[in-house]
Structure 1
Amino acid sequence: MMYHINLPKHISISIIYLLLVFGLFELTNIDIAIQNYFYNNAQEAWLWSKQEPVLKLFFYDAPKTALTFFALGIIISLLFFRKRDLISRYKNGLVIVLLSLIIVPSVVGLLKATTNSACPVALDNYGGEIPYVKVLASYPPNKTPSKIQKCFPAGHASGGFALLSLFFIFTTTKNKKIAMVFATSLGGLMGSYKMIIGDHFISHTLITMGLAWLLICTIAALVQKFTALSIINSNN
């Protein structure tokens, strides 16, 4: 099974990307500078309301529901239709996509639960009560949040970026590019929506994107190795 991609190289590039992006935002105030554009100080409100039903449906509820049904569709296909020619031909790619849809959001969720980073809407910069601190910094002793803050990296966008795994289903360069553009755009839109309503900084989305590709390439490498071992064992 060939993916026409150097997986170890892409894993290394992803790690370098994550280190560079994380370092950039830890050493600068780019997050705040960009986030300020989405907050109206005079009205003490975000550019878009989190409660606006149409925007919430289009950018939040609909993508989450679609991703859930997509994953369920893959599970059903692999369980009950795996002997069909179409499913059999794309089985490895479907496994990679399914694992990515499960693992990418799960890993991001675990990180969110441990980084203790507050969302913009909760910060005193934007009408909240929590001071802004970088991911590696500590809260002031008298300003420590009463409960763990779960905002870094971006959880909602992780589902969209998990679809970067569609790259491993298609065989032609054109379709692979379309898959990458689609997944990047979807993840970017989902992340941008959360920025505009005050739920995330841009760094949260960029880190999630890099982390998603790192995890997806790792999953693909493991599936490739497992498939190769299965072929060897079947020939013995």
Structure 2
Amino acid sequence: MLTSSRYRFYWVNFGIPLICAAVVFLLFDMTKIDIAFSDLFYDPATQMFPLDNVQLFEKITHKWARIIPNWTGEAAIIGALLSFLWPRLKADKHVKLIAYLEKIRVAPLLRFATKHRRDFLFIVFAFSICTGVIHYLKGHTSVYCPVETTQYAGKIEHKEWYENFDLLKVAGEGRCWPGGHASGGFTMLALYFVARRYRWRHSKAILYGSLLLGFVYGTTRVLQGWHYMSHTFWAGIFVWLACLLTALAFYGRGRLELPVLRKDEEPVVVAKPQSIS
């Protein structure tokens, strides 16, 4: 039988996203709200979304915005690779090299990377799994973007994701559901689980910031006609679940459900003997 803390953990982290999925499905996928919202940014006279032709808007919201998740993922990969270097240095064999690394202040960086190897690897895996999930869903639902559909002067008939869904094979050439750009922002949720592992008191700020980033990424694409609003919600739901499952595999539920540290509470540090290997 589930304990109260375990029940609450699963209810909050799995139950709420699944309820959100049901609400999004009923409110958006089963109605015309998506189209009604996109209509607000469509110009029937020119048969285009005006913001889709603003180059500065495209650069800032679509191209430059990718820097945040891209650099985060790249930093995690570099950190994971560096984490394997310091343990290979032996105090009795690499005295001069270790002294040089200390002198140029690279040694602290290598020790930090080694200490947080699991965190770096978690971020790398979480980003990869989230990307894989989104790409799988895109290919196996074959949903076309608004500007590609007859609703907005395109050539393809609009269909919902569940009308084309195929579990085992690619459903078609459409690649619009869930929102890929939005998912890039939502992948920053991986940092929230790292913060929860260490019970950082500002972990909720990372949570809300990552959610906001994903919604901003997704909404700007809606304004350009390259996604419906529900695509952003679905991206957030799937990325959250992917990050959560990856975090459970790396850290375990017990660590993730511990309360954050209070202002007057400090993490307990267990002294360990210094070792290079």
Aligned match of 1:208 in 235, 245, 252? 235
Question: What residue is the counterpart of 1:198 in the other structure?
Answer: 225
CA contact (8 A) 1:158 1:187 kept: yes
Q: 1:113: how far off?
A: 0.8
Aligned match of 1:67 in 69, 72, 82? 69
Q: How many equivalent pairs are there?
A: 216
CA contact (8 A) 2:83 2:115 kept: no
The 2-side partners of 1:149 and 1:81 are apart by 40
CA contact (8 A) 1:96 1:216 kept: no
Question: What residue is the counterpart of 1:165 in the other structure?
Answer: 190
Aligned positions of 1:131-146 closer than 5 A: 131-137=157-163
Cα 1:7–1:227 change in 2 (3 A) is closer
1:44-69 Cα offsets, whole Å, 9 max, x none, are 221302x5332222111123244223
Aligned match of 1:152 in 163, 177, 184? 177
Aligned match of 2:147 in 121, 124, 133? 121
* Higher mean displacement: 8-17 or 55-64: 8-17
Aligned match of 2:126 in 97, 100, 115? 100
* Higher mean displacement: 25-34 or 86-95: 86-95
Instruction: Report the 3-state secondary structure (helix = DSSP H, G, I; strand = E; otherwise coil) of the residue aligned with 2:51.
Output: coil
CA contact (8 A) 1:161 1:183 kept: yes
Question: What residue is the counterpart of 1:142 in the other structure?
Answer: none
CA contact (8 A) 1:90 1:169 kept: no
Question: What residue is the counterpart of 2:18 in the other structure?
Answer: 15
The 2-side partners of 1:64 and 1:120 are apart by 22
Report the TM-score when normalising by structure 1.
0.81
Question: What residue is the counterpart of 1:219 in the other structure?
Answer: 246
Q: 2:42 aligned with 1:39, yes or no?
A: yes
Letter in 2 for 1:13: I
1:110-159 Cα offsets, whole Å, 9 max, x none, are 11111021110011121112222222236xxxxxxxx6211111111111
Q: 1:172: how far off?
A: 5.0
Cα 1:202–1:166 change in 2 (3 A) is same
Letter in 1 for 2:124: L
CA contact (8 A) 1:156 1:191 kept: yes
RMSD of the alignment, in Å? Answer: 2.6
- Where structure 2 has 5 or more consecutive residues not aligned to the other structure, the ranges are 87-109, 165-171, 256-277
The 2-side partners of 1:167 and 1:40 are apart by 40
Q: 1:19: how far off?
A: 3.0
Q: 1:95: how far off?
A: 2.8
Q: 2:221 aligned with 1:187, yes or no?
A: no
The 1-side partners of 2:112 and 2:254 are apart by 18
The 1-side partners of 2:231 and 2:208 are apart by 20
- For the pair shown, the structure with the greater C-alpha radius of gyration is 2
The 2-side partners of 1:66 and 1:26 are apart by 30
Q: 1:179: how far off?
A: 0.8
- Where structure 1 has 5 or more consecutive residues not aligned to the other structure, the ranges are 139-146, 229-236
Q: 1:85: how far off?
A: 4.6
Compare relative contact order (CA 8 Å, sep 6+) and give the higher one, 1 or 2: 1
Question: What residue is the counterpart of 1:57 in the other structure?
Answer: 59
Cα 1:53–1:95 change in 2 (3 A) is same
Cα 1:226–1:88 change in 2 (3 A) is farther
